[in-house]
Structure 1
């Protein structure tokens, strides 16, 4: 994922506004009269066949982001169960994060995390050492309590929870161990579990706790009596009722929501965590280093798997590993699609590993992965798969190498080694390449050039853009080369979790289906988000420790994924009349994790009249600053933003009605990660353009358009910004044409004239049911009164089944409210030609039965 810009949480209200034909209009007040219907036509040509829609058209992309694994899909309820948390994961972490000491009956002792010769194994090095003083009465206990994730451990009355721990003791007569499940107030949630630890060798102790009550703030306490040293590791509590009842399994409600999508494929395990960090193998002396995700770390007995620092700022236990991913894909009927590191980092790191031996090892590891998935139980890695419980092959057919590499030449050079080895030994496996982190630009163009030249079969595209971009780019794949690589749209989403975003995504998806001959697979991303640990939004499925719910985009994806059809039936629809005015707006200055100084700001109209001038000799009273957006002050006759940690520090000035003007600015980077941002066409902090010079950790520059809080790139190149150098910037705005000058030389230009068409459609045929599926998106506030013509000689039933998503474009599905969900109905009057009105802000799937004459 292109992670250089954090996205706002859908739980935080953003700017409202309704996307209407490429402009932003205010949403009508509740109870206001509906807009007059617009008239449309939709003609279906049943005599011709469009492209076949494959059963793998839509799938899911899983990455361990937003605590999607530990604390999420992986059903383990204990956080930091093996005491491996460390500052390498997060500066705030210690080995006792999520644990607190506890004592009853006057017991005393000490609890500390150690790594010594008594460790459980070389990969599970840390463990908890309890030194018990033997104080208190016979029932005195000293130990530790775990708080779980979010507000605590969620349990349900009557359900069983399986406890286990590895332990050893130096006490000659053994050490009594008491396990209790209780809430934050101390109220018991289950009867205590008692065991006696015997011997100074690591032994696994197990038991079952049955919940007496339902609660979401549970705590698990493991405490010991007597005197001496007790060592504990891998303290675990699992719900017995996991998905498919599997041990070391998955959280049932989350897995069921994913399964309900009926995904054609499951891409895993990432994402940015695949190709970031060290590419070295796990070595005990280097265990604290953050490594890229390597599949061999994640298989075998759970207590022997490595842990790793997650790219997103927490620890990942690898309890959910490659075996579990393959098993889950099989359980939900999805094609497994693993992603392996390419030895070229992405996600802002942007470096290539030049180590031939390391490259050879990763290529060999990839061949071993194929054997683990597909090899016979008598092979080395097939035997491990069989030992883990799956003697039969998993049937791997596709494998991706790398993720969002920003160095396309270095990436494709290393990709060649993977392809050569895989194609030599496993010609049945499709190796998927990628095109970087964006939908356009120099990296994207070069990556596709290399993909075509090298003859790869499929290219993985990723992009996260504004709703208007998705409405404007329905025809993106119409002109793709049908003789080149196929497209795997591995990650995409509109930037927010409101229904307006879902409408835009749905409109775009009609274009994906229309181009199903070139776009073979597509996945919304990311999949999961724990409300207590959000690094990225929007997300498809949200959850806390007890509940889960689908976003409005989940409902949209589910509607498309479960009603795909088998083949596109050609159709055409009329468009929405659009009147595009000029770019208008005020101006702005901003920074991102950077200190910069601005001076000599001038705005001059096209006829030469000066509209605005500020050399800051009299202060900065003409500029509007937003609270919490950096630290702005006039220093030495310049306007300076000094906070190098602050992001998006936009300050604005001028008239929002300005048009056809030149903006002049002198800008100097003082220190920090990036360059500076010069805004124009500013309506407000969520609706503007800005020239992002030295963005993305000072690796490139671009003009970005923000609409309703979401962004899209208009033009970009590889310009980087030098610290201490003053740049002369000029932005010329004429109508919808923008030309940009840097130090007197033209840097680039663009015309923002794309139309955000709100009315889109695609028609498919479902061969199993004998139905036409008419899919229509109406992403505007006006109803769409539509004349549907099925063509001469059409024989159809008199009724049609409708499934509709509709509602307020600002609606957000939450834990407590689901305003957007499917509405089912049946309509009459269906014929060769008939009229139907599609509601405002709606996605409609109309199933019409075809009859044989």
Structure 2
């Protein structure tokens, strides 16, 4: 990883992986490749007397973004969907101002519609509902008005619990108008009813409490005008009193309790891609722009003054869950708040920037004002606003993240302006940069270097990769410079919610903890997903209107977060020597939206013998296609002529080929990309390929496909020139492949398989326990000999928590037990596919 130094310093790794990828790139303890002991078991040697890195109290936390309908209809406890009638086709093509609402005429008649005129509630809340009641019905439930269906199947209403109804209203009737407010079933069966008397033709807020006599998971809220006259309604709300921590305008209790059970050390908010996408306008005349970047000042203060905005993920966001609520959430969790602010250029595939310096200056000032809002006292403008809004004490903000996944020409210059302004005004605040959505490659390297040279305190890394990537990159941070910035792993996941995904993430977390002197913060992402509105998967928790479903990934995060420890204890794991299974399989040629020409294909074995040769002077009988593309022999070469077909792979050779050299000549003829050279091909979902000129000819990548899912192994900014013939050579030896372009080594793939057992040891200063954390990703029991040196004494009884697979193989569940065989030296059999934490307590003496 680039730093201020030309090359990052390396250090000895405390985890010894026999025959692993790590062995090729790191300096290891001498025990590498040695058998663990005479028994053949792995060993973990713990040096309890040696100092290890301190673990940051904020080591693990949560990243919350309003994605997957995570706020409105999610953890924000409001039960009314589209409470201010602001839904719009700009948010989602299916939306209208009446989304979530239906018109009711119960013994009365008149007109009902959403209006945007000068009678509105305020300039920020532009739509309202107008009801022209023409006739009065008879009976307590008669009237004309609307009914709200809530989210998912409806509003969860529990018998005997209290719900706060509120509405902003005005009436043209001099005698006033009565609103009949009803909680009911979809069929109209009444669960609770109350009346509200609206007086006068000026906007006022009215409230009443309802308590249903029966429960319903599909509740409805109706508001009917009784009598005649024109009644205007806005901000129709139904809020459970039983929110998390009992806070008004608070969080849905069951969801928030699951989050709190993680015991996160920080809360990163509000995103993510919702932060820095959209344009840089304010919500004001004449356009009242609906697709804006996230502007925190719009999200504080009275709810009715917070303007609507389109969410990047394709729906409306009300900002009912805004910066006041985020800060309060962090405070209630006992977590450090970590806000993310836009820095004048968009990311996440959006392509905009602040239109002028004046706009950029406004955003810079907004960032400074945010720090003042969080920490300022009553003598400051924004500190006084926080106090006026009900929070006298400061929020103790100590860090801020500038930007999210930007990589555009303007980014560095804009970021530098934000950085300089914050550093000058608030030197006490830690500044977090980012390296975009990359785990490697030229963009990652460039941004790493920029962050190091700029002097940021932490860098936010984001990556989503296959489980195999996490298993084979446990060592990632072992070689990071100890003299440069610290790492905030703000978003990561292994692209699935199966136990194997969670185990891969757990294996990786042992590497994060081992490198606690570099990795200071880490959070899985995303956190929440509404089952009926999933834009991104995997997620840590799924929910509907009535229940919450956690995942194996949640259980892993919970176990680690609840047992972090305060300091790493140096340990060495020695694994039995393993037999290396080489990369093997056929060769392949392919294209993607490109026409290309191949010639002189040759494969030679390790002894120099020719395994395969084709100069295309005859037929293409040796090649097997996948049915895509248009392949033919033309002028002594093999040509794929379609410029629209994707993945046109043809293969030749044997599944058993290994330790071979594959060479060919390739020429791009036309199209948007380059060409793809495959090796180790097993089938259409399992192979390696060298994608030269991919992503519209912007970069070249080696990808590994496993069961159809591809992950990047090497990424460079190499592009391909049309009409030029390239010499390609790939030398496959064991688990290593060397790739040559025009005779020059372009890159090396080392896909050596890591040992399936991973470990780290930490000390918990609060309890005095030494916590041995072991992840067994294999399907076999793993006996491990554990030895503790340097401790006064180790008790014979240890508390053990094990995450083991459920009977159906779809989940991980925690099980507590007591192990009575602990001590200075003992053997423990770690269950297949498990995560096990052993808490070693101090003994009474030797």
TM-score, normalised by the number of residues in structure 2: 0.86
Q: Counterparts of 2:278 and 2:469 in 1: how far apart (Å)?
A: 32
Of 803, 806, 816, 1:805 maps to 803
In structure 1, the partner of 2:90 is 88
| 1:165-210 deviation per Cα after TM superposition (whole angstroms, max 9, x unaligned) | 112223343333222222333333x222222333222121222221
Deviations 1:672-729 (A, max 9, x none): xx8887765444555333455666677544222233565432122335689x999989
Q: 1:608 to 1:235 in 2, by over 3 A?
A: farther
Q: CA deviation at 1:63?
A: 0.8
User: Which residue in the other structure is 2:115 paired with?
Assistant: 114
SS in 2 for 1:382: helix
What is the 5 A alignment of 1:9-158?
39-105=41-107, 107-134=108-135, 140-158=142-160
Which residue of 1 is the match for residue 506 of structure 2? 506
Is the partner of 1:82 in helix, strand or coil?
Answer: coil
| 1:349 equivalent in structure 2 | 350
Query: Are 1:828 and 2:820 matched, yes or no?
Result: yes
How far off is 1:649 after superposition?
7.2
Deviation at 1:135, TM superposition (A): 7.2
Distance 1:639 1:173, change over 3 A: farther
| Cα separation, partners in 2 of 1:305 and 1:634, compared to 1, 3 Å | farther
The secondary structure found in structure 2 opposite 1:370 is: helix
CA distance in 2, matches of 1:747, 1:142: 77
Tell me the distance in 2 between the aligned counterparts of 1:746 and 1:185: 74
Quote the offset at 1:596 in angstroms: 5.6
Given the superposition, is the C-alpha separation of residues 216 and 715 from structure 1 closer, same or farther in structure 2, using an over 3 Å criterion? same
Structure 1 pair 711–389 and aligned structure 2 pair: CA distance change class (3 A): farther
Conservation of the 8 A alpha-carbon contact between 1:89 and 1:315: yes
Counterpart position of 2:14: none
- Is 1:849 the counterpart of 2:841? The answer is yes
Q: Per the alignment, in what secondary structure is the counterpart of residue 221 of structure 1?
A: strand
| Aligned residue in 2 for 1:422 | 422
Whole-Å separation in 2 of the counterparts to 1:169 and 1:809: 62
CA shift in 2, pair 1:69/1:174, >3 Å: same
1:270 aligned partner: 271
Residues 41 and 609 of structure 1: CA distance in aligned 2, closer, same or farther (over 3 Å): closer
Indicate if the aligned counterparts of 2:514 and 2:568 stay in contact, CA closer than 8 A: yes
Q: Are residues 162 and 686 of structure 1, via their aligned partners in 2, closer, same or farther at CA, if it must alter by over 3 Å?
A: farther
Report what 1:13 is aligned to. Answer: none
Could you tell which deviates more after superposition, 712-721 or 651-660? 651-660
The residue aligned with 2:526 is 526
Q: What secondary structure sits across from 2:234 in the alignment?
A: strand
Taking the aligned partners of 1:131 and 1:528, their CA distance within structure 2 comes to 41
Q: Which structure's CA Rg is the greater one?
A: 2
User: What is the distance in 2 between the residues matched to 1:729 and 1:134?
Assistant: 85
Equivalence map 1:813-824=2 (5 Å): 819-824=811-816
Matched residue SS, 2:798: strand
Shift of 1:356: 1.7
Q: How big is the shift at 1:133?
A: 3.7
Aligned pair in 2 of structure 1 residues 365, 778: CA closer, same or farther (>3 Å)? same
Aligned-residue offset at 1:663? 7.1
> Following the alignment from structure 1 to structure 2, what is the Cα–Cα distance between the partners of residues 596 and 466?
27
Which residue is equivalent to 2:785?
787
Partner of 1:479: 479
Distance 1:692 1:301, change over 3 A: farther
Residue 289 (structure 1) shift: 3.3
Contact 1:496 1:710 in 2 (8 A): no
Structure 2 equivalent of residue 168 of structure 1: 170
Q: Partners in 1 of 2:272 and 2:402 — Cα distance?
A: 11
CA distance in 1, matches of 2:88, 2:599: 48
- Structure 2 unpaired stretches of 5+: 1-18, 22-38
State the match for 2:334 in structure 1: 333
2:452 and 2:215 map into 1 onto residues whose CA distance is 58
Structure 1 residues 40-83: Cα deviation after superposition (integer angstroms, max 9, x where no partner): 11111122111111211111111111111111111111111111
Task: Answer yes or no: is the 8 Å Cα contact 2:796–2:843 preserved in 1.
Answer: no
Q: Secondary structure of 1:191's partner?
A: strand
Q: Distance in 2 between matches of 1:232 and 1:728?
A: 70
- Deviations, residues 560-615 of structure 1 (Å, cap 9, x unaligned): 11111111111111125443334334577999xx9666777997533666689999
Q: Alpha-carbon deviation of 1:117?
A: 0.9
Residues 104 and 641 (structure 1), Cα distance of their counterparts in 2 relative to 1, 3 Å cut: farther
Q: Deviations over 1:600-649 (max 9, x none)?
A: 7997533666689999x999995446xxxxx9789999675869xxxx97
| Residue 315 of structure 2 corresponds to residue 323 of structure 1 | no
- 1:688 is matched with which residue? 687
Deviation digits for residues 302-323 of structure 1, max 9, x if unmatched?
Answer: 1100111111111111100001
1:3-39 Cα distance to aligned partner (Å, 9 max, x none) = xxxxxxxxxxxxxxxxx989xxxxxxxxxxxxxx972
1:469 matched residue in structure 2: 469
Per mean C-alpha deviation after superposition, the further-off stretch among 203-212 and 133-142 is: 133-142
RMSD of equivalent CA atoms: 3.5
Q: Distance in 2 between matches of 1:725 and 1:313?
A: 42
Change (3 A) 1:464 1:379: same
* Shift in CA distance, 117/691, structure 1 to aligned 2, threshold 3 Å: farther
- Residues 565 and 771 in structure 2, CA contact (< 8 A), matched pair in contact too: yes
Aligned-residue offset at 1:223: 2.5
Q: Distance in 2 between matches of 1:225 and 1:339?
A: 47
Quick one: distance in 2 between partners of 1:585 and 1:375? Answer: 64
Q: Using a 3 Å threshold, how does the CA distance of structure 1 residues 130 and 470 change in structure 2: closer, same or farther?
A: same
Query: Counterpart in 2 of 1:561?
Result: 561
Indicate the residue corresponding to 1:26 in structure 2: none
Correspondences of 1:637-676 after superposition (within 5 Å): 656-657=655-656, 660=660, 661-662=662-663
Residues 246-257 of structure 1: pairs in structure 2 closer than 5 A? 246-257=247-258
Whole-angstrom CA distance in 1 between matches of 2:648 and 2:306: 46
- Kept in 1, the 8 Å contact 2:176–2:198? The answer is yes
- The number of aligned residues is 796
Structure 1: where are the runs of 5+ without partners? Answer: 1-19, 23-36, 626-630, 813-818
C-alpha distance after superposition, 1:223-262 (max 9, x if no partner):
2244443322111111110011111111111111111111
- Mapping for residues 505-654 of structure 1, pairs under 5 Å: 505-585=505-585, 604-606=602-604, 623-624=625-626
In structure 2, what is the Cα distance between the partners aligned to 1:109 and 1:39? 82
Return the offset for 1:393: 0.7
* CA gap 1:792/1:370 in 2 versus in 1, 3 angstroms: closer
CA shift digits 1:731-765 (9 cap, x unpaired): 746344556688x7979333233433311111111
Residues 638-678 of structure 1: CA deviation (Å, up to 9, x unaligned): 675869xxxx978776665565445777777768xx88877
Find the counterpart in structure 1 of residue 206 from structure 2.
Answer: 205
- Structure 1 residue 90: deviation in Å? 1.5
Per-residue Cα deviation, 1:764-801 (whole angstroms, up to 9, x for no partner) = 11122221111111111121111111126641111111
TM-score normalised by length of structure 1 = 0.85
